Structure 1
């Protein structure tokens, strides 16, 4: 039975959501530039380029996807290549929708041009706030604040509950919002000054840190912004009409992110020699015997058939055959998951627009078992690999050590000024001028406790580091302290 869509809701919903207004427009009480949806470059195409050419985006070239500090295999994915791939998948998803299901979007926003580019943009930016060493970096920051609070019960004196949770539950997604709205200073404090429509779409999580509730809604399973960015979020909600409701495009980007890492992390692990093609196929076959699933069967059968064809070629080495097999596996797995997620989006489209959809697309789609099995395999055989865990430990120690050093130096310099130790002054000067400028402005504004601003200065610096820069900086600071 074909889906029935409320065209009146669609026509009123999307022009408001695809808001071309920027924070600088609001501050200066001016209208956005004309031809926001058309012209030589639309407002949303401009957003894409602002992300693409930004310094924080380029830093992703040396931030961990799965294998930290990987030097031997230069084809292993980093956050940068992962982000490009998510962006590509998201753009393809958008192209499929606007050309094959045009009834989903009103003509007023020129969807064939603007929907795919917004999806590509949020695919690029979705990991930009992640600290070095992947999710282990987030865990290290959270651990440091918990440990510090145990040692200093008055650490958060004068903080609101949200301000405390901003650090105890530190979140890379919230750091992304902070980067694009404040930290990437050009000639003011508006960051990259993206449109409110794009900012709405990149908000993967929709609540502040003290309102996290995964059982209620997966979009509330983590927090999406710090207290310091609340004013920006208020403007986004006011202009787009979404109050604690996820942007429909965010569901698509999240699905593409999940598809990318669950499939491509396996390909990287094969390339690195952690597992083989036979391991993933054997795992899927065993699981499918227990609980048969047509999507799992399709990927197994199509990949195995191609593998059989190539295995008869005498000139191919074991490694070449493994690589070719994984390329085929990647193509079939991604294609199956993308088609299934697309169907889930259209099936739940009106519930998504009304804010009634509380799940992820890959959890409700037809290929949900395939998605779940791939994630299970990654966790068991890749993420818990001894080498990965060992490098994550190095990253954990590096980050917690740097936090110790920066925290003491920031407090020494801010409390004592010129009387601070030479070492503290040296450490303080290692902090980005952008971050220090934002910090001093926040202190002058007086909206937050100064300790909150100091903590953000420290986490801003840590989150902006690449893996290699974090390690070399820590080694340098330890050496100079002796």
Structure 2
């Protein structure tokens, strides 16, 4: 069984001591590192649900992440208070610390997402499985699998541990507790692709960060599962996932209402059952005076509070199972009203919002954008990794754009048995997945000779 003493380990990646500062706990420091990072800032121009949205009122990845972090902080503090009341938190660890850990993981939970959201992920996978398969011929099966099944969660772990702040030397150098709580799928790509892991096709660790992952897992005491490089999840992952689901279950519907895809009656029918009769009696006179677009904020706070309390209670009820490393869907363990509301919201978004024609048109176009960038850049970096002196002029210019000094040093000296071709292509993945929707579209036009001067 895992224990809270190790699970809230405040030491930092690389066995660095906990960062103690005036007015800032080690977990506050994690939060601030994410907020000030370029990777986080670029989420402002990345798709949440609607690519290249012209309506400033709908969510992007940044506003979504900030809102998930708010819900996650409240949920973490609520759980922390309950653990503290039962004398289960280690000495010196407070409920606010738990809130900070969950808030940090929520802030970073989408930091590895490429342009165009989940469609961008699918476009990268599709290209490496088809047109780009020739670039993977010298890679080993694990490396090739990372690219053919590109995953934003694994890319996120790479961002916070490798590519941001201190490249290839600890990245953001966050605490072990926060890093472990970030990893939704603590296993690698190849067994996931063949359906040998709990979430088929989903994984959280690239081969390039495998040694880092093992360091984090051992530092917090994650339980090894039956299978290579497979551990159980940190219990706090469930809280981060719940906060994300709660926001999807409210804010995607608000975006649908804002864009005229959904009606208020549809939204209210899903959310109102989680409110008490007292809440409904107090709120409905106010709701009757407002136009539909102004109604969601009136009930949002109370709906979120109901969600948070239900999740906190469910977490404590199943604490022993989480500490045993069991696979548990926290939302399904919430009371029926909350679980049903989240499920119904997701179903409505899937059938009505995700199939909106404007969204579909732009998503189809994103495949061409990604294919253009991947073709040009992969060709260039493989030339460069083979022999920088024999690169074509075009490839040299592409490498100049990527940054000739931004490649992992293991490309020349690879003690982890990583092929240089894999390391080179992973730098392309860093570059492209770090692009905003707008910059990826602009760059694809430039590469095709159809761009505009800037």
**TM-score, scaled relative to structure 2:** 0.88
Indicate whether 1:273 and 2:257 are aligned: no
Aligned to 2:363: 392
Q: List runs of 5+ in structure 1 lacking aligned partners.
A: 1-8, 27-31, 285-294
Among 42, 64, 69, the alignment partner of 1:59 is 42
Aligned to 1:324: 294
Q: 1:275: how far off?
A: 2.0
Among 130, 133, 137, the alignment partner of 1:147 is 130
Q: Deviations over 1:277-313 (max 9, x none)?
A: 123346x4xxxxxxxxxx8634597897677524654
Q: Retained in 1: the 8 A contact 2:189–2:203?
A: yes
SS at match of 1:330: helix
SS at match of 1:108: coil
Q: Retained in 2: the 8 A contact 1:177–1:225?
A: yes
Q: 1:100: how far off?
A: 4.2
Aligned to 2:26: 43
Q: Deviations over 1:413-444 (max 9, x none)?
A: 444534433322222222146xx533344332
Aligned to 1:420: 391
Identify if the C-alpha distance between structure 1 residues 262 and 214 changes in structure 2 by more than 3 Å, giving closer, same or farther. Answer: farther
Q: Which has the larger radius of gyration?
A: 1
Aligned to 1:443: 412
SS at match of 1:192: coil
Q: 1:267: how far off?
A: 0.4
Aligned to 1:291: none
Aligned to 2:449: 479
Indicate whether 1:222 and 2:202 are aligned: yes
Q: 1:21: how far off?
A: 2.4
Q: Quick one: distance in 2 between partners of 1:396 and 1:464?
A: 16
Higher helix fraction (1 or 2) = 1
Q: 1:332: how far off?
A: 4.3
Aligned to 1:288: none
Q: Quick one: distance in 2 between partners of 1:311 and 1:177?
A: 43
Among 165, 181, 200, the alignment partner of 2:161 is 181
Q: Retained in 2: the 8 A contact 1:66–1:134?
A: yes
Q: Retained in 1: the 8 A contact 2:407–2:424?
A: no
Query: 388-397 vs 226-235, which deviates more?
Result: 388-397
Q: Retained in 1: the 8 A contact 2:322–2:328?
A: no
Q: Quick one: distance in 2 between partners of 1:279 and 1:51?
A: 36
Aligned to 1:131: 114
Q: 1:276: how far off?
A: 2.1
Q: Deviations over 1:58-80 (max 9, x none)?
A: 11111110111112x21211111
SS at match of 1:137: helix
Q: Retained in 1: the 8 A contact 2:385–2:421?
A: no
Q: Deviations over 1:332-354 (max 9, x none)?
A: 44333222222211111111011
Q: List runs of 5+ in structure 2 lacking aligned partners.
A: 225-230
Query: 406-415 vs 252-261, which deviates more?
Result: 406-415
SS at match of 2:170: coil
Q: 1:213: how far off?
A: 7.9
Among 273, 282, 285, the alignment partner of 1:309 is 285
Indicate whether 1:467 and 2:437 are aligned: yes
Identify if the C-alpha distance between structure 1 residues 297 and 43 changes in structure 2 by more than 3 Å, giving closer, same or farther. Answer: closer
Query: 334-343 vs 165-174, which deviates more?
Result: 334-343
Indicate whether 1:19 and 2:9 are aligned: yes
SS at match of 2:413: helix
Identify if the C-alpha distance between structure 1 residues 442 and 326 changes in structure 2 by more than 3 Å, giving closer, same or farther. Answer: same
SS at match of 1:128: coil
Identify if the C-alpha distance between structure 1 residues 306 and 265 changes in structure 2 by more than 3 Å, giving closer, same or farther. Answer: farther
Q: 1:400: how far off?
A: 1.7
Q: Retained in 2: the 8 A contact 1:162–1:227?
A: yes
Indicate whether 1:198 and 2:178 are aligned: yes
Q: Retained in 1: the 8 A contact 2:246–2:342?
A: yes
Q: Quick one: distance in 1 between partners of 2:87 and 2:105?
A: 20
Counting only pairs closer than 5 Å after superposition, residues 320-469 of structure 1 correspond to structure 2 as 321-356=291-326, 358-366=327-335, 367-415=338-386, 417-432=388-403, 436-445=405-414, 447-469=417-439
Q: Retained in 2: the 8 A contact 1:303–1:328?
A: no
Q: Quick one: distance in 1 between partners of 2:442 and 2:393?
A: 20
Identify if the C-alpha distance between structure 1 residues 470 and 296 changes in structure 2 by more than 3 Å, giving closer, same or farther. Answer: same
Aligned to 1:68: 51
Q: 1:149: how far off?
A: 5.8
Indicate whether 1:79 and 2:61 are aligned: yes
Q: 1:40: how far off?
A: 3.5
Q: 1:57: how far off?
A: 0.8
Q: Quick one: distance in 2 between partners of 1:99 and 1:185?
A: 33
Identify if the C-alpha distance between structure 1 residues 48 and 167 changes in structure 2 by more than 3 Å, giving closer, same or farther. Answer: same
Q: Quick one: distance in 1 between partners of 2:146 and 2:168?
A: 25
Q: Deviations over 1:200-242 (max 9, x none)?
A: 1111111111232898765676111100101111111222110
Size of the aligned set, in residue pairs, is: 441
Identify if the C-alpha distance between structure 1 residues 468 and 213 changes in structure 2 by more than 3 Å, giving closer, same or farther. Answer: closer
